[in-house]
Amino acid sequence: MTPSNGVAVLMYHSVADSATPEFADFVVEPDVFARQMTALAEAGCTTATMSDLVRARSEGRTLPAGTVVLTFDDGFLDFASTALPVLRSHGFTATLYVTTRYVGGRSLWLRPEGEADRPMIGWADLATVVDAGVEIGAHTDTHPQLDLVQPTVLARELTVPKVTLEDRLGVPVTSLAYPFGYASRRVRAMAAQLGYTNACIVSDLVSRSGDDPYAVPRVTVTGAHTGSQVVALSTATSTWQERRKADLRRAASRTLRTARLKKPESASYSRSLR
């Protein structure tokens, strides 16, 4: 374990062969994903879920050296069909964040990225995912920018997925990923109030033990990452300068979005700010 008890929380979305240019950073090709996982396994890395990580920290424990947390946002069908068999072959677990409105349907919120037709995981496959020991987390109901919506909408977007997933799957849902990584003090407080124990943002920083459990940073893994680069993340730490820079970027992004200088749904634009 590194001196700061760092744990890399890796963020994936879709594992598939094709993507539009606007969405390409969020799609890793199956053979590349398989190589990344093989590299982690061969390096002796083990995996934990988000709730494992946050529970260990709340109890003052550290996870074994080389532990990484694998997270998958949105709930695409390819998690079950393509990613899960690879994870199982290595004995890896993960946290899958599901956007409940689109379960069994298509990725309609990705229309601005030209990706409205990506198949989403259905309830039967979600049950299989649960049986495989993967943690199910919430990714809101409709994938809005939570830091910009009204309080009633915020409460609904955080309540509906938790209740729906718990009812349909019979498992506790205590982990949350904010769509686009966007949150605010109000969003974090509401997540805690509604019974989530942790929530993820996107910062391209390695998480450490002192992190706010409602703002756990994640590193975006793309198809450009080699296996050894992914392994290197498992022992990496982030400096205070990198943390400060990430905070400033987030503040600048929110100011721009609040001023409506960007399309509300565009994740690719927010990435260009980083």
Binding site residues, Zn ion, CB under 5 A: 73-74, 179
Question: CB 262 → Zn ion: shortest distance, Å?
Answer: 16
Question: CB 73 → Zn ion: shortest distance, Å?
Answer: 4
User: Can you say whether residue 70 is alpha, beta or left, with left for phi > 0 and alpha for psi between -120 and 50 degrees?
Assistant: beta
Question: CB 12 → Zn ion: shortest distance, Å?
Answer: 11
By beta-carbon proximity to Zn ion, the closer residue of 220 and 237 is 220
By beta-carbon proximity to Zn ion, the closer residue of 45 and 147 is 147
By beta-carbon proximity to Zn ion, the closer residue of 74 and 135 is 74
Question: CB 26 → Zn ion: shortest distance, Å?
Answer: 8
Question: CB 100 → Zn ion: shortest distance, Å?
Answer: 12
What is the DSSP annotation of 10-22?
Answer: EEE-EE-S---TT
Question: CB 99 → Zn ion: shortest distance, Å?
Answer: 7
Q: DSSP letter at 97?
A: E
By beta-carbon proximity to Zn ion, the closer residue of 74 and 78 is 74
By beta-carbon proximity to Zn ion, the closer residue of 74 and 147 is 74
CB atoms under 10 Å from CB of 52, counted, come to 18
By beta-carbon proximity to Zn ion, the closer residue of 6 and 179 is 179
Q: Yes or no: say if 15 and 30 are a contact pair by the CB < 8 Å rule.
A: yes
